[in-house]
Amino acid sequence: MQVLDATQGRDILEELVEVIVDNRQYLSDVDGAIGDGDHGINMAKGFRLCGESVAGQSLSLSKALGTLATTLMGSIGGSMGPLYGSLFMGMAKSVKDKNVLDAKDFGDMLADGREALEQISDAKVGDKCLLDTLVPAIERYRDAVEGGDDFPHALQALRNGAQDGRDSTLDLEAKIGRAARLGERSRGHLDAGAVSCCLLLTRLADSTERRLEKAAA
Q: Which amino acid is at 163?
A: Q
Contact, 131 vs 182, CB < 8 A? no
Q: Is the pLDDT of residue 217 over 70?
A: no
Contact, 166 vs 194, CB < 8 A? yes
Per mean pLDDT, which range of 92-101, 104-113, 173-182 is the poorest? 173-182
The pLDDT tens digits for 5-16 are: 999 999 999 999
Report how far residue 142's alpha carbon sits from residue 158's, in angstroms, rounded to the nearest whole number.
Answer: 9
The pLDDT tens digits for 30-60 are: 988 878 889 999 999 999 999 999 999 999 9
Contacts for 115-118: CB closer than 8 Å, 24+ residues apart: 115/90, 116/86, 116/87, 116/89, 116/90, 116/91, 117/83, 117/86, 117/87, 117/90
The pLDDT tens digits for 64-88 are: 999 999 999 998 877 889 999 999 9
User: Mean pLDDT throughout 83-99?
Assistant: 97
User: Mean pLDDT throughout 109-136?
Assistant: 94
For residue 217, CA distances in Å to 97, 142, 192 come to 20, 25, 44
The pLDDT tens digits for 150-191 are: 999 999 999 999 999 999 999 887 776 766 566 676 688 899
CB atoms within 10 A of CB 173: 15
